[in-house]
Amino acid sequence: MSVPATLPNPLLPGFNPDPSICRVGDDYYLCTSTFEYLPGLPVYHSTDMVTWTQIGNVATRTGQLDVEKVPTLGGAWAPTIRHRDGVFHVVVTDAFGRGTLHFTATDPAGPWSDGVVLEGIDGIDPDLTWDEDGTAFLTFSGLGVNPELDTFMSHRGLLQARVDLERGCALEEARSIWSGVGGQFPEAPHLYRIGEHWYLVIAEGGTERGHSVSVARADSPEGPFTEAPGTPLLSARGTNRPVQNTGHGDLVQTADGRWFLVLLGVRPRTSASGFSALGRETWAVPVTWGEDGWPSFEVVPLAPREGGLTWREDFTGPLGPQWLAVRQLPTDCTRVGDGGLVLTANDDDLSGRAPAFVGVRQTHQTASYTAVVDATAGSGGLAVRYDERYHYSLTVEPGRVVARGCLPSFEQVAELTLTGGQAAVELELTARRPEGDFIAQRTCDTVDLAVVVDGERHVLLSLDGRFLSSEVAESFTGRVVGLFATAGEVTVRSLSFTGSDE
């Protein structure tokens, strides 16, 4: 199937940062970061670069990632997905966990291997490539994330080493190869043999507003590398473009010979473009190669898919691969029962490290989620989460529904008394544009927490959405909306969604 000249943007909406892509024949596979969430490292598939389906996850078993103990923002950072000789490879940093890992699979939908720790590699954002002789090179950013080493949280530029993938070790001491043109945090390297040269595509400037894509090339994978004239070749910094933080790019050539760059970016809103509710998303732009052999990248456009999206989950079978839990697998706190999805509370609430919470990525700027919750055997409900410090929730408790907006050192609470002994309560969480004219808008959206009783909608709290944004929470993830239990068992009979970017 042919790939159109322009693609919808974002390509993968919602919490899908640090994209990496590869093509096998007419099929495209894309993998993104998941940090402290499990299952980890989603794998998406497409035949036209337009319609993407999540076919699985790399980390679906306990022990593949050591996220149970990592701090917030730790876990699965910046995978690279590649294919060689019938085998798919993913290399990734399990930050503050196992270290630099190498996973393999013959089917990208899984199952994937347990993951081999690449000894002798201390850094983040690994890239894997092979030269003509089959020698494997690992190129990575030299930010130390092993607390036991003297290099912890120091940055040593972009490093590279030959590796033995079978034995799981570096074959030499990592050497510096190139570190961009002076932007902070040179990272996310990807190395390719294209024509007569080896091209190194990196990010620098930090993953916030200074983010950018820089390019260099050499005659050997080891360098020396010469930077492209005018690099960085792509950045939104200092502009009023609707897509900001653009960087962390990976090249792919389509079956008909054209090139695209997939990369991350955010969609800030407010009159000053201050806050990005959905976090870092995956985008794509065409690539043009000049007569001098250097690439150029188009400006990243905001071109969301037309129309809206609706879906409903009645929980009649196992949760799909898109469902996430925090530092545990969804099956650790849920099961499918006769009446729907049963969540069993543990010792953590939403402010804890591993709450009984399962959710999906918020994918649209305007979005509404409706859950029918039976909490006669416990308490729990519907929530939107950035991390354990920033979350808004609706909890069904005996005789009442409690709405909470939780921020560091601050909590806003409202409640509605229930009468009539309802077995199930309809909860609604909506993200909408704030009221008022454009100049007055100082937040990306308003989040309404509501309950429907006897057909009447009661909004318990209307909360400022800017606090659930990447700029305020300083989280590398995004909004995850889902279901939770804080005591006993809670049965969720259905979850419905409607969303739009119009």
449 and 482 both lie in a single domain: yes
Average confidence (pLDDT) over 23-45: 98
**pLDDT tens column, 337-367:** 889 999 999 999 999 999 999 999 999 999 9
Quick check: 58 and 75 in contact, CB under 8 A?
A: no
Q: Is residue 6 part of a domain?
A: no
Whether the pLDDT of residue 110 is over 70: the answer is: yes
The encoded tokens of residue 81 equal 């997905």
User: Last residue of some domain: 249, 277, 297?
Assistant: 297
Spell out the residues 6+ positions from residue 360 whose beta carbon is closer than 8 angstroms to its own.
Answer: 322, 323, 324, 480, 481, 482
Q: Clarify whether residues 259 and 332 are in a common domain.
A: no
User: Any idea what the CATH number is for the domain that residue 425 is in?
Assistant: 2.60.120.200
What is the predicted pLDDT for the residue at 428?
98
Q: Which of 263, 297, 331 is the last residue of a domain?
A: 297
- Hey, what's the torsion of the CAs at 136, 139, 145, 148, to 10 degrees? 50
Percent of the chain surpassing pLDDT 90: 88
If asked whether residues 251 and 361 sit together in one domain, one would say no
Average pLDDT (287-301) is 96
Q: Examine the pLDDT at 215 and tell me if it is beyond 90.
A: yes
**Is 3 part of a structural domain of the chain?**
no
In a domain, 195, yes or no: yes
List 36, 187, 464, 471, catalytic entry: 187
* Together in a domain, 169 and 213: yes
Q: Domain holding 66: CATH number?
A: 2.115.10.20
Which tens digits make up the pLDDT trace of 401-454?
A: 999 999 999 999 999 999 876 779 999 999 998 876 655 568 899 999 999 998
Q: Report if residue 4 sits inside a domain.
A: no
Same domain, 328 and 292: no
Give the pLDDT of residue 153: 59
The b-or-e profile of 78-107 (16+ CB within 10 A means b, else e) is: bbbbbeeeeebbbbbbbbbbbbbbbbbbee
Instruction: Note whether residue 112 is domain-resident.
Output: yes
* End-to-end Cα spacing for the chain: 28
351 and 496 within one domain: yes
Let me know whether 242 and 379 are in one domain.
Answer: no
Neighbours of 53 (CB within 10 A): 10
Catalytic residue status for 48: no
Residues 126 and 255 in one domain: yes
Residue type, 126: P
Q: Are residues 51 and 171 in the same domain?
A: yes
Beta strands in 37-153, from DSSP E residues, in sequence order? 37-38, 40-46, 53-59, 75-84, 87-95, 99-105, 116-117, 124-130, 136-143
User: For the segment 52-81, what is each residue's pLDDT rounded down to a tens digit?
Assistant: 999 999 999 999 999 998 999 899 999 999
Q: Is residue 9 part of a domain?
A: no
- Residue 161 clears pLDDT 80, i.e. is over it: yes
**Statement: residue 244 has pLDDT above 80:** yes
Together in a domain, 207 and 340: no
CA distances from residue 188 to 128, 175, 380 in whole angstroms, order as listed? 11, 16, 40
Euclidean distance between CA atoms 23 and 84, whole angstroms: 11
Q: What are residue 472's phi and psi, to 5 degrees?
A: -85, -50
Residue 394 — very low, low, confident or very high, per pLDDT cuts 50/70/90? Answer: very high
**Same domain? 114 vs 247:** yes
Burial code of 237-273, b = ≥16 C-beta within 10 A, e = fewer? Answer: beeebbbbbbbbbbbbebeeeebbbbbbbbbbbbeeb
Where does the pLDDT of residue 172 fall: very low under 50, low under 70, confident under 90, or very high at 90 and above? very high
Average pLDDT over residues 138-151: 78
pLDDT tens digit sequence for 371-380: 999 999 999 9
Burial (CB < 10 A; 0-12, 13-18, 19+), residue 408, is exposed
pLDDT of residue 328: 98
Please check the confidence at residue 127 and state whether its pLDDT lies above 70: yes
What is the extent of the structural domain holding 328?
309-500
Contacts of the segment 291-295: beta carbons below 8 A, 24+ positions apart: 293/195, 293/196, 293/197, 293/217, 294/215, 294/217, 294/228, 294/229, 294/233, 295/199, 295/215, 295/228, 295/233, 295/251, 295/259, 295/261
Q: How far apart are CA 70 and CA 40, in angstroms?
A: 14
- Residue 54 maps to a domain: yes
% residues pLDDT > 70 (the chain): 96
Banded pLDDT at 1 (limits 50, 70, 90): confident
Q: Is the pLDDT of residue 159 over 80?
A: yes
**Per-residue pLDDT at 239 exceeds 80:** yes
In a domain, 10, yes or no: no
Domain final residue, candidates 243, 263, 297: 297
User: Average pLDDT of 129-135?
Assistant: 96
Q: Are residues 292 and 322 in the same domain?
A: no
C-alpha distances in Å from residue 221, one per residue of 162, 199, 217, 425: 10, 8, 9, 60
CA-CA distance, 292 to 233, in Å (whole number)? 15
Specify the pLDDT at position 434.
83
Assess whether 94 carries a catalytic annotation.
Answer: no
Indicate if the pLDDT at residue 211 is higher than 80. Answer: yes
Specify the number of domains making up the chain.
2
Rounded to whole angstroms, the Cα distance separating 54 from 52 reads: 7
pLDDT of residue 420: 73
pLDDT (mean) for 473-477: 91
